[in-house]
Amino acid sequence: MRKATSTVGAALVLAAGSLAVSQATADAQPAGPNVRYVVSADAPLSFDINYVISSPADLKAFNADANAYSTRGNFVVPWEATATLTDPQWAYISVARAGHAMEAPPNAHCEIWVDGQLAVQNTGPTTAFCQLSQW
């Protein structure tokens, strides 16, 4: 009888612990991208886009190895990318396109969204830069 009581008691403790863990997991916010970069223009043209994908410890660390914290490429707009930054204030994007004599300015436009809220936006004839406070 004593063994049966201790077995039932242990099972109840495990069940209660399991319930507490599953509730904590259900209440936790999903770890998803908290920064969204958006680029658009007046026409679907290709732009050189450089943006931060990882938060550096400080500006010195970024300058020592920018490729460890950012990426670049040539993309046709409209374009979007997401990143999970430990400090979203490191978010930065530059958008550039060489002007052509016989072409109207494409009016490059960039936006940085943090946790679903528009944090900054900018527009320029051929280039646009958006950055948050760490820069």
Q: Give residue-wise pLDDT tens across range 45-85.
A: 999 999 999 999 999 999 999 999 999 999 999 999 999 99
Task: Kindly provide the b/e burial profile for residues 103-130, where b requires at least 16 CB atoms within 10 angstroms of the residue's own CB.
Answer: eeebebbbbbbbeeeebbebebebbbbb
Distance CA 20, CA 42 (A): 53
Tens-digit pLDDT profile for residues 15-24: 444 444 444 4
Distance CA 114, CA 122 (A): 15
What would the DSSP string read from start to end of 53-99?
A: -S--SSHHHHHH-GGGTEEEEEEESSEEEEE--SSGGG-EEEEE---
The average pLDDT across 24-35 equals 59
**Residue 98's pLDDT band (cuts 50, 70, 90):** confident
Residues in the chain: 135
